[in-house]
Amino acid sequence: MLTIVGSFVRFQQTLLKPFLEIDQSKSSTSRSHTKSNIMSVQNSAGIQTLLDAEREAQKIVQKARAYRTQKVKDARSEAQKEIEEYKKQKENEFKEFESKHSGANAKAEEEATKEIEQTLKDIEAATKEKGPEVIGDLLKAVTDVKPEPHRNVAASA
């Protein structure tokens, strides 16, 4: 810490050397003005150093923000890639499962179709066999009407 302060003092002295050389012929009032000028130059040099340090710090902070922003963007894109890969993997697994089990569905569908066809054939055969008899019974029921009061009406009378 002491070497840094010593280095800073030497740095100030080398910068201020032209201002420190005072003409011996000047009066004492000019010397007091020169001292105040030296102090203001020293203060302005210190202020300038602080401003430079602040600018440098702002640059570092800005670089850190840009770095962080880039890392977030990279992480998002990497996550999106992983999501896409996972989605493709699950779609492939589903297609594989579907292809394995669709064969069983096709067999069940064939059996159901055969059963339906057999049932339709049985219905058609029964219709051919008993169709005329059923039609005759229906016509007889429609044409031979026996009017009778309803049992509820007959019970109340």
Domain borders along the chain are 36-108
DSSP 42-103: HHHHHHHHHHHHHHHHHHHHHHHHHHHHHHHHHHHHHHHHHHHHHHHHHHHHHHHHHHHHHH
Instruction: Return the pLDDT at 23.
Output: 45
Instruction: Return the pLDDT at 21.
Output: 53
What is the model's pTM? 0.38
Instruction: Return the pLDDT at 73.
Output: 96
pLDDT tens profile 10-46: 665 665 555 555 444 444 445 555 666 666 767 788 8
Which residues of the chain are modeled with pLDDT < 50? 22-29
